[in-house]
Amino acid sequence: MTEPDVSSVAVVGALGRMGQQVRAAIELEPKLRLGGAIEAVGNPRIGETLADGVVVGDDPRAALADCAVAIDFTTPTATLGVMREAAELGVAYVCGTTGLSDEQRAQVSKFAERIPIVHAANFSVSVNVLAWLTREAARRLGSGFDAEIFEMHHSAKRDAPSGTALFLGEAVAAGRQMRLADHVLLDRHGDSDGRPEGAIGIQALRGGDNPGEHTVMFIGQGERLELTHRSSTRDHFARGAVRAATWLLGRPAGLYPIAQVFDLE
Ligand code: NAD
């Protein structure tokens, strides 16, 4: 099937920090136009007009009806509710919401049997290149280097550690051919026997308006390699999500890795 020249996008969480950035990024993408805006029930701005014929609504089914793709940066519960409607309507889905449990991720995989979905903890192309570099560094440095990940975000962030820190932890684990769940170390306090061999440590800091900062450290004997990404705005996440939305148009159902969108596999 050929795709129309311009496809409509529904923005889920349209008035949130990321929702605003996504709407701005859609305006810069000639293949897309804003077609729907979904917000939480009870949001005082429901009914406000955002663009020609696009009014903020709290009914996902109505907002998705004429859209080819949705872009969602909300909360895990909101995401699963709207994604269910999208799966029923056949609307492709770009999801940036973080903090989903394993069970919630399994539900996303189930919906991907019906619609094409990209779910990524980070839509910045450079963070995805960082993950690629992290995997390669872990693979080449081997067991003589301890891996520690540090992340910092604004004080309103709900989930910790960040989805991106876990994503980078997965990259270390992939480079070492192990499972992150078997080696991740999220908490340190009190007395201990020292660092468990092969641990992948992740530490989270919160404060101010920081949109996100991640450093992966490989700490050896007398030397340390650090790979860092710092965000000063949120628009690069939004640009990546919009790029993923155009990439998804016309693809068959499935859960696509963000690395495939950015050609980093
Ligand atoms: P935010 O709180 O500013 O925005 C979330 C918006 O979702 C709010 O406007 C809220 O009213 C709305 N919402 C809540 N429930 C809803 C529902 N049922 N239906 C529709 N809308 C609903 O948060 P934010 O900073 O924009 O972050 C949102 C999510 O995106 C978080 O999980 C964050 O970690 C993640 N995030 C991901 C990336 C990435 O690249 N993947 C980048 C930045 C943030």
- 207-231 residue pLDDT tens: 999 999 999 999 999 999 999 999 9
Q: What confidence tens digit (pLDDT) does each residue in 24-68 have?
A: 999 999 999 999 999 999 999 999 999 999 999 999 999 999 999
Element (H, E) at 5: none
CB-ligand 1 contact for 33 (6 Å cutoff): no
Question: Is 87's pLDDT higher than 80?
Answer: yes
170 found inside a domain: yes
User: To which residue do tokens 């900062």 refer?
Assistant: 213
Which atom of ligand 1 is nearest the CA belonging to 154? 25
In a domain? residue 196: yes
The pair of three-digit structure tokens given for residue 23, joined into one six-digit string: 């709407």
Question: Does any ligand 1 atom lie closer than 6 A to the CB of residue 121?
Answer: yes
Pocket mutation for ligand 1, best pick of 75, 108, 119 (most atoms within 8 Å of C-beta): 75
Cα 160 from Cα 135, distance rounded (Å): 22
Given ligand 1 and candidates 17, 125, 230, 231, which is best to mutate, with the most ligand atoms within 8 Å of its CB? 17
Question: Are 101 and 135 in a shared domain?
Answer: no
Q: Is 123 in the pocket of ligand 1 (CB under 6 A)?
A: yes
Residue at 107 is within a domain: yes
Atom of ligand 1 nearest to the CA of 21: 26
Q: Are residues 162 and 218 in the same domain?
A: yes
Asked if 39 and 13 sit in the same domain, the reply is yes
The CB of 40 under 6 Å from ligand 1? The reply is yes
Give the side-chain half-sphere CA count within 13 A for 211. Answer: 15
Q: How far apart are CA 196 and CA 68, in angstroms?
A: 48
| Dist CA 140 CA 133 (whole Å) | 10
Residue with more model confidence, 101 or 3: 101
The angle formed by the CA atoms of residues 200, 206 and 211, to the nearest 5 degrees, is 95
Whether ligand 1 lies within 6 angstroms of the CB of 37 is answered as no
Tens of pLDDT, residues 144-196:
999 999 999 999 999 999 999 999 999 999 999 999 999 999 999 999 999 99
For the annotated catalytic residues, the residue numbers are 153, 157
Predicted model pTM: 0.92
Number of domains in the chain: 2
Q: Does 21 reside within a domain?
A: yes
In the prediction, which pLDDT does 1 show?
A: 56
What Cα–Cα distance (Å) separates residue 259 from each residue in 33, 81, 125, 140?
25, 26, 9, 20
User: Would residue 100 count as lying in a domain?
Assistant: yes
Domain of residue 28: give its range: 7-123+234-261
